[in-house]
Amino acid sequence: MAARRKNNQTTKIQPKRARNLSPGTVTYTGKKTTTVTKLDIIDYSKEHYHRFETNDIHEAFNYEDSTNITWINVNGLSNTNDIITLGNHFELHPLIQEDIVSTYQRPKIDEYEEYLFIVFKMLHYDDEKLTNEHISLVMGKDYVLTFQEAEGDVFEDLRERLEHGKGRIRGAGADYLMFAILDAVVDNYFSVVEFLSNKVELLEDKLFDDKEDTNITQEIQDLKKEILKIRKAVMPLREVINRLEKIENPLIEERTNKYIRDLYDNIIQVNESVEIYREMIWGLMDMYMTTISNKMNEVMKVLTIMASIFIPLTFLAGIYGMNFDNIPELHYKNSYFYLLGVMALVFLGMIWYFKRKKWL
């Protein structure tokens, strides 16, 4: 009964918001405060590929004008000045700059004249704890900007495909790159849901184990929180992708639409899985209640059998332990043995009774 949890932080659902600030104020609200903003720039076309890492925000500006597609990935949002510098260079609206560093912002899509702005969440299990990272994406005519809270992401395969020119990606435009990034995120959701599904199955097995696990209630509650957290990332992204499929924006080429529709199919599927696991987890509590009740039934049966057999026998022994002067049976030669026989019969009768009731 002493199940304590130490890491409420990670299962915290309610985001902290930078409150009481003038709307449009660029204030970082996350927990990862790497002081340095790292840029990871990939500049490519069908024939050309160049990757470049730097801490100097201004180096990014060189790539903008090239005819190649440029993907500028920014790691670290705590240095808001860098974000503002970069944002102003790319002429991002103050509200966008605010959203980029507001880690609480829920997934959404905003259309501007020169670019599309998408906010979404990257989920990963970090040492058994589900953490989510706030990511923003700006897609312009020939560039894609992505902003992450910290280094380490789910885009490594994508970068490899870019480097080795696998798939259609090198020949396609910035819109396809945007799709590929979202596709990597949705793919990652599949992994997360699968990991969660394993946790659910493990807990289900644990439920039927005989061991005393009084913290199962806590574990179920934690699973509930995790599934709610995943849902909070997946459900609005589904809407985002749905809108992405429908908007008619010159930035998105006709041929990319088929891929986005495919992506929408995938996120719907993730969403359905999330709903199913949600239902399963909610059902776990009922299952747990029945196993508790079953265990109690078993305990009660042992008590009832022991008490029902030995209490009457003890009474019989008590009868002949009385000190009345005149208890005739006490003086017959074999009455002790007869009584033992009667007791044996009572014992066997009880056993037979409980066997018939299937309690034994």
- Amino acid (1-letter code) at residue 150: A
DSSP secondary structure letter of residue 309: H
Three-state SS for 121?
Answer: strand
Q: Please, are residues 142 and 276 in contact by the beta-carbon 8 Å criterion? A: no
Residues 93-112 within binding reach of its own copies (CB under 8 A): 93, 95, 104-106, 108, 110
Shortest approach of its own copies to residue 341 CB, angstroms?
13
Shortest approach of its own copies to residue 35 CB, angstroms?
26
- 250 is a contact residue toward its own copies (CB under 8 A): no
What whole-number distance in Å separates Cα of residue 179 and Cα of residue 186?
10
Shortest approach of its own copies to residue 329 CB, angstroms?
8
Element (H, E) at 158: helix 156-163
Name which of 148, 147, 138 is nearest 175 in CA terms: 138
State the Rg of the chain over Cα.
34
Among 56, 65, 262, 348, binds its own copies (CB under 8 A): 262
Minimum CB distance to its own copies smaller for 51 or for 357:
357
Pairing of strands 129-139, 143-148: antiparallel
What whole-number distance in Å separates Cα of residue 136 and Cα of residue 149?
10
Residues 6+ apart with CB under 8 A from 43: 49, 50, 51, 52, 63, 66, 68, 69, 70, 71
- 320 is a contact residue toward its own copies (CB under 8 A): yes
Residues 175-204 within binding reach of its own copies (CB under 8 A): 179-180, 183-184, 187, 190-191, 193-194, 197, 201, 204
Minimum CB distance to its own copies smaller for 59 or for 110:
110
Shortest approach of its own copies to residue 9 CB, angstroms?
11
- 295 is a contact residue toward its own copies (CB under 8 A): yes
Residues 65-94 within binding reach of its own copies (CB under 8 A): 93
Q: Please, are residues 277 and 193 in contact by the beta-carbon 8 Å criterion? A: yes
- 114 is a contact residue toward its own copies (CB under 8 A): no
Name which of 249, 258, 259, 253 is nearest 111 in CA terms: 249
Binding footprint of its own copies, residue count (CB under 8 A) = 128
- 273 is a contact residue toward its own copies (CB under 8 A): yes
Site string for its own copies, 160-179 (x = CB under 8 A): -x----xxxx---------x
Cα distance from N-terminal residue to C-terminal residue, the chain: 30
Residues 297-316 within binding reach of its own copies (CB under 8 A): 297-304, 306-308, 310-315
Among 290, 348, 349, 352, binds its own copies (CB under 8 A): 290
Shortest approach of its own copies to residue 235 CB, angstroms?
9
Minimum CB distance to its own copies smaller for 64 or for 239:
239
Three-state SS for 170?
Answer: helix
Site string for its own copies, 23-62 (x = CB under 8 A): xxx-------------------------------------
- 238 is a contact residue toward its own copies (CB under 8 A): no
Q: Please, are residues 290 and 208 in contact by the beta-carbon 8 Å criterion? A: no
Burial degree of 269 (CB within 10 A; 0-12, 13-18, 19+): middle
Shortest approach of its own copies to residue 234 CB, angstroms?
12
- 269 is a contact residue toward its own copies (CB under 8 A): yes
